[in-house]
Amino acid sequence: MPNMTPSVVYARERLTLRRNAWDKSEPAGTVEKGREMRSYGKTGKWHHIVIPATDMIGWVHEDMLVAGKTAPATSAMTTGAISGAPRAAQVQAIYPPRPVGAQ
């Protein structure tokens, strides 16, 4: 049985998580610089990545990752945010007030 203990890796810079281990594969999301991730294995130079506390799973090329116990230096503006596929915003319609007694 293969070892299923993940390695801790960090995003070297803002990167695109891919659905397959290929640079032209469909994006699965975006990860900000310094974000902690888990690598559960490799195919060639591509790591199978899971982002903790999210439902994001995908592939990242090893050149975009930093291995180790500490995150790379990040600016004060880095939020560690992630984003998945764009979703349509749910906007509630706003109607003007009706006069009292109107039907």
Q: What is the pLDDT of residue 71?
A: 62
pLDDT tens-digit map of 20-71? 999 999 999 999 999 999 999 999 999 999 999 888 999 999 999 998 766 6
Note the CATH number of domain 7-71: 2.30.30.40
Structural domain boundaries in the chain: 7-71
With bands split at pLDDT 50, 70 and 90, how would you rate the model's confidence at 76?
A: very low
pLDDT at 42: 94
Phi/psi at 60 (nearest 5 deg)? -135, 135
Provide the pLDDT for residue 90: 55
Please give the average per-residue pLDDT across 72-93, as a whole number: 51
